[in-house]
Amino acid sequence: MPLVLNEEQNMLKDAAKDFCTNNTPITQMRKLRDEKNENGYDTGTWQQMVELGWTGITIPEDFGGLGFGYMGMGVVMEECGRTLTCSPLFATAVVGSSAILHGGTDEQKGELLGQIAGGELLMALALEESPHHNPYGVAATAEKSGAGYKVTGSKKFVLDGHIANKLVVVARTSGAAGDRDGITLVLVDSDAAGVSVTRTIMADSRNAANIEFSGAEGVLLGEEGKGADVLDKVLDAARILLAAEMLGGAQECYERTVEYLKTREQFGVPIGSFQALKHRAAEMFCEIELSKSVVLEALSALDEDSDEVPELASLCKARLNDTYNLVSSEGVQMHGGIGMTDEYEIGFFMKRSRVCEHTFGNSAFHRDRYGVLQGY
């Protein structure tokens, strides 16, 4: 699997960098936060992203997308990570579209993927029921009802749950919480009866929702009882693409910190001349370089639909969790007092890093999973 970008991917990356730098600098996120924007993202910016084709990057051309693959989406996510861009891109055009792609019937694909690519449909994955990622731990139930299913249960931390038009609900048609078998994915309109959404704002100023389902009706996505097969693929794609965003954030945070070390003077010299800080900066450099490699490898694997996707997703997410955590904590510490102020942007990376860390598996979850996948 190639570990370097091709020309097309490099062009996409440059375009994404331009767009994010000019259209979604961190000041946009601050503005959305301070204005308590009801969507949590800027609809104008989102429209521009749709026009750039970002919503269709991973969607095959047959279904109205660009068929650019996950590597293409990865470079866009990375640039969005650098500017902490708030948009429905991840929840809709990575998580949502991959759920339809892997679980949908031809008819569902034909109908929904085009809507996603066209920016008309926003989606969200309603999975978690506890504060910790636990894909097979769902207790929410789905009961057959006519042509569809009725869903009942409480979901937490549904990213973009308050703006999504359609929800992919992970529910259970048989078995008990913890079983891989018996999980069923149900597609529920968010305005259906029996759906109650409470918006929640996280420390990174992004959105998540708590959603109560009480007999809400929806349609099957994939096979009854075999939802985990689809779910695992969706989650691995989500983990890898989120890691790509985190890589962008970690790099930006790190570069800002190194720059600060060169310019901030104390004791008559730039603080970057102090060896203890130099060594810590150099160690972070190594972590980031290793992180770049695992993200590239995992994106390649996704595009090749390789058997190694699950282990690479865990390798990737665990590493980016730890690297982003380290780099953003050191970023604040090395900036000193100014790093503690809300006025300065460096602290935003720390907040974002921790929310990312707890999205779709923290490092302990992924190290455990990696070990299991490797047979130990």
Binding site for a copy of itself (CB under 8 A): 274-276, 278-279
> Which positions ≥6 away from 90 have C-beta within 8 Å?
77, 159, 238, 241, 242, 245
Backbone angles phi and psi of 153, in degrees to 5: 155, 175
11 is a site residue for other proteins (CB under 8 A): no
Closest separation between CB of residue 131 and a copy of itself, Å?
18
Looking at 21-29, 39-47, 83-91, 194-202, which segment touches other proteins (CB under 8 A)?
A: 194-202
Q: Which is nearer to a copy of itself, 22 or 275 (CB)?
A: 275
> Counting contacts by CB under 8 A, is residue 196 touching other proteins?
no
Of residues 62, 118, 144, 336, which one binds other proteins by CB under 8 A? 336
Give the residue among 236, 249, 247 at the shortest CA–CA distance from 206.
249
For 46, 147, 171, 243, 290, the CA distances from 102, given in Å and listed in that order, are 25, 21, 17, 21, 30
Nearest distance from residue 277's CB to a copy of itself, in Å? 8
Question: Cα separation of 6 and 97, whole Å?
Answer: 24
- Residue by residue, DSSP assigns 254-321 as HHHHHHHHHH-EETTEEGGGSHHHHHHHHHHHHHHHHHHHHHHHHHHHHHTT-TTHHHHHHHHHHHHH
Least CB distance from residue 280 to a copy of itself, whole Å? Answer: 9
Cβ closer to other proteins: 14 or 265? 265
Angle at alpha carbon of residue 55, lines to 49 and 58, rounded to 5°: 140
How far is CA 99 from each of CA 105, 218, 228, rounded to the nearest angstrom? Answer: 11, 15, 11
Using alpha carbons, list the distances in angstroms from residue 225 to 15, 140, 154, 173, 236.
42, 13, 19, 6, 19
Q: Residue 78, interface with other proteins (CB under 8 A)?
A: no
Bridge partners, 216 (sequence order)? 151
**Closest separation in Å from C-beta 203 to other proteins:** 5
Q: How many residues bind other proteins (CB under 8 A)?
A: 82
In the complex, the smallest distance separating the C-beta of residue 229 from a copy of itself, rounded to whole angstroms, is 37
Q: Which does 294 bind (CB under 5 to 8 A by kind): a copy of itself, other proteins, none?
A: other proteins
CB of 339 to a copy of itself, least distance (A): 19
CB-nearer residue toward other proteins: 174 or 198? 198
Distance between CA atoms of residues 285 and 238, nearest Å: 25
How many residues are there in the chain? 376
Provide the minimum distance between the beta carbon of 343 and other proteins in the complex, in angstroms, as a whole number.
7
Selection from a copy of itself, other proteins, none that 227 binds (CB < 5 to 8 A by kind) is none
347 binds other proteins, rule: CB under 8 A: yes
Rank residues 77 and 350 by Cβ distance to other proteins and give the closer one.
350
Which range, of 56-64, 174-182, 213-221, 270-278, touches other proteins by CB under 8 A? Answer: 270-278
Closest separation in Å from C-beta 118 to other proteins: 31
Q: Which residue has the tokens 């603080």?
A: 271
Tell whether residue 368 is a contact of other proteins (CB under 8 A).
yes
Nearer to other proteins (CB atom), residue 79 or residue 217:
79
Applying the rule CB under 8 A, the residues between 276 and 305 that interact with other proteins are 276-279, 281-283, 285-286, 289-294, 296-297
- Residue with Cβ nearer a copy of itself (176 or 276): 276
Residue 144 or residue 278: which is nearer to a copy of itself going by CB? 278
Q: Which residues contact 88 (CB under 8 A, 6 or more apart)?
A: 41, 46, 122, 160, 163, 164
- CB-wise, 22 or 267, nearer to other proteins? 267
Say how far apart CA 308 and CA 226 lie, in whole Å: 21
- Verify binding: residue 193, other proteins, rule CB under 8 A: no
Query: Toward a copy of itself, which CB reaches closer, 193 or 269?
Result: 269
- Which entry of a copy of itself, other proteins, none binds 367, CB below 5 to 8 A by partner kind? other proteins
Q: Are the C-beta atoms of 164 and 123 separated by less than 8 Å?
A: yes
